[in-house]
């Protein structure tokens, strides 16, 4: 059995492959046998998780794996570099599209769950993690009821669920994008790692994380409310300001481009649940003048208003539907920042006897192109268990740790200034 990939899903089948990582830190001693059983049960509910990518001429398909080739839990010892090694472990070409690794430690265990972007987005990868721990708990307590038979019907691609568009609408959207791109050029952060003498490990991916405490997060939220700016907009503004600060002076007359990921699963005629393993993300591009020392409250409101207006008029869906027309114009793809906002989540419920103390989420690419000399910064803000977290995954072939640390510190100071608008209690 197989299902052909849609046009939008084909974006994830090129030379550069992406997987979404969900990382859970757990105390109490995870039972690997139970977790492996929970993984097998989760696979039964979604045929995409039991599939591989196959090619037939110019067409790509999701094709069911043979039962003996289905993903199983891998257990490895934890250690100082164990997680980073997992970030850099690609899914096998022609093999399973999901992997689960339990890094066993003395006091804490770490689950690394990786899912190919061709079959998921951030929301569905999140939901898979939730479902995995929920089934683990049900198996442990004896309340799990397996399905009569594994599900065999693949979810429909988002392309099939979007409202049809006339040719005139698509051409008008492309004209708007070209008009926007015709202004001042867009600045991208230089890849300083390629200028250093030391050769970084080939393809090395890691993530620079900014993590606030619950108290700090609550103060930042109070500051955002006092300033009258959405936190998402302020974070985007702070990231762009940090990028501006890292750019050489010769780029001062350049604009900065921000691509916001937008989930379309709630914006179709028949909305469908997060459990459906199918990519539904589109995007919206905002091009902004960001001077040094920009007013972040004003900029945050500007970014938020631009994104809200685009979503209300269906702009992100048009991006997917006009994709081939847009690809013919490289200038419309210039971006300084790729922002995937996960939002506020509780994280998975802890099974009896365990405590899930942290959860991380970000996407990693199988390959970067340092020879291009510059590129966008990736950022994935989320508030999990009451703590604001911003992941900035990057390739050490391209950006240096000093560059990413400088952006981290700049954004943290900006969040601190927002929090200081409201006096601390006590």
CB 311 within 8 A of CB 262: yes
Taking the complete model, does pTM exceed 0.85, yes or no? yes
Interacting residues of 306 by C-beta distance below 8 A, sequence separation 6+: 284, 286
Tell me which residue of 395, 390, 394 sits closest to 414, measured CA to CA. 390
Question: DSSP letter at 338?
Answer: E
Q: Can you tell me the distance from the alpha carbon of 208 to that of 369, in angstroms, rounded to the nearest whole number?
A: 19
Superfamily name with CATH number, domain 158-345+365-419:
Nonribosomal peptide synthetase, condensation domain (3.30.559.30)
Q: Can you tell me the distance from the alpha carbon of 284 to that of 262, in angstroms, rounded to the nearest whole number?
A: 7
* pLDDT for the residue 187: 97
* pLDDT for the residue 147: 87
CA distances from 243 to 27, 183, 194, 391, 411 (A): 37, 20, 18, 15, 10
* Residue 168 tokens, joined: 């005139």
- Ramachandran region of residue 28, left (φ > 0), alpha (ψ -120 to 50) or beta? left
Q: Can you tell me the distance from the alpha carbon of 137 to that of 139, in angstroms, rounded to the nearest whole number?
A: 6
In the chain, CATH 3.30.559.10 sits at: 2-141
CB 39 within 8 A of CB 100: yes
User: What is the full DSSP assignment across 132-155?
Assistant: HHHHHHHHHHT-----SS---PPP
Q: Helices (H), strands (E): how many in the chain?
A: 10, 17
Interacting residues of 54 by C-beta distance below 8 A, sequence separation 6+: 2, 60, 61, 62, 63, 94
Q: Looking at the DSSP assignment, which residues form a beta bridge with residue 18?
A: 365
Fold of 2-141: Chloramphenicol Acetyltransferase (3.30.559)
Interacting residues of 258 by C-beta distance below 8 A, sequence separation 6+: 236, 240, 285, 286, 287, 288, 303, 335, 336, 337, 339
Q: Looking at the DSSP assignment, which residues form a beta bridge with residue 205?
A: 395
* pLDDT for the residue 196: 60
Quickly list H helices, 142-230.
167-181, 214-227
Tell me which residue of 331, 392, 357 sits closest to 105, measured CA to CA. 357
CA distances from 16 to 10, 19, 116, 237, 299 (A): 12, 10, 12, 29, 33
* pLDDT for the residue 369: 87
In the chain, CATH 3.30.559.30 sits at: 158-345+365-419
User: What is the full DSSP assignment across 72-126?
Assistant: -EEEEE--TTHHHHHHT-PPPTTS-SEEEEEEE-SSEEEEEEEEEGGG--HHHHH
- Which helix H or strand E contains 286, and what residues bound it? strand 281-288
For the chain, how long is the longest CA-to-CA vector?
68
Strand, helix or coil for residue 425 = coil
Mean pLDDT of residues grouped by 10 in the chain (426 residues)?
Answer: 93 86 98 98 95 94 96 96 93 93 96 97 95 98 91 92 94 96 94 69 82 97 97 98 97 97 88 89 96 97 97 95 96 96 94 97 90 96 97 95 97 98 77
* pLDDT for the residue 351: 98
């Amino acid at each position: 059995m197989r299902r052909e990939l849609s046009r939008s899903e084909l974006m994830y089948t090129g030379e550069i492959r992406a997987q979404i990582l969900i990382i859970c830190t757990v105390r109490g001693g995870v039972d690997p046998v139970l977790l492996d059983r929970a993984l097998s049960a989760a696979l039964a509910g979604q045929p995409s998780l039991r599939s591989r990518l196959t090619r037939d001429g110019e067409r790509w398909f999701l094709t069911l794996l043979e039962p003996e080739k289905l993903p199983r839990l891998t257990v490895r010892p934890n250690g100082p570099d164990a997680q980073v090694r997992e970030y850099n472990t690609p899914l096998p070409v022609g093999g399973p599209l999901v992997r689960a690794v339990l890094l066993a430690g003395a006091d804490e265990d770490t689950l690394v769950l990786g899912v190919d972007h061709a079959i998921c987005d951030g929301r569905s990868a999140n939901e898979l993690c939730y479902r995995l721990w929920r089934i683990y708990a049900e198996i442990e307590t004896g309340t799990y009821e397996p399905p009569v038979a594994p599900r065999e019907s693949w979810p429909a691609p988002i392309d099939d669920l979007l409202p049809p568009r006339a040719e005139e609408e698509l051409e008008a959207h492309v004209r708007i994008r070209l008009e926007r791109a015709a202004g001042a050029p867009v600045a991208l952060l230089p890849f300083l790692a390629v200028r250093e003498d030391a050769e970084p490990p080939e393809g090395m991916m890691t993530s620079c994380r900014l993590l606030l405490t619950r108290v700090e997060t609550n103060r930042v939220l109070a500051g955002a409310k006092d300033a009258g700016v959405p936190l998402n907009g302020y974070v985007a503004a702070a990231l762009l300001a940090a990028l501006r600060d890292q750019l050489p002076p010769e780029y001062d007359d350049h604009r900065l481009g921000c691509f916001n990921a937008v989930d379309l699963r709630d914006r179709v005629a028949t909305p469908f649940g997060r459990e459906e393993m199918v990519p539904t993300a589109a995007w919206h591009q905002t091009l902004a003048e960001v001077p040094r020392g920009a007013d972040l409250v004003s900029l945050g409101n500007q970014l938020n208003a631009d994104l809200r207006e685009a979503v209300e008029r269906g702009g992100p869906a048009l991006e997917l539907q006009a994709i081939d027309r847009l690809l013919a114009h490289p200038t419309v793809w210039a971006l300084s920042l790729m922002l995937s906002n996960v939002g506020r989540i509780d994280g998975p419920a802890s099974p009896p006897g365990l405590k899930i103390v942290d959860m991380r989420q970000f996407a990693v690419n199988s390959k970067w192109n340092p020879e291009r000399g510059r590129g966008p910064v990736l950022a994935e803000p989320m508030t999990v268990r009451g703590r604001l977290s911003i992941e900035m995954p990057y390739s050490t072939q391209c950006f240096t740790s000093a560059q990413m640390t400088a952006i981290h510190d700049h954004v943290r100071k900006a969040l601190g200034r927002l929090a200081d608008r409201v006096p601390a209690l006590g």
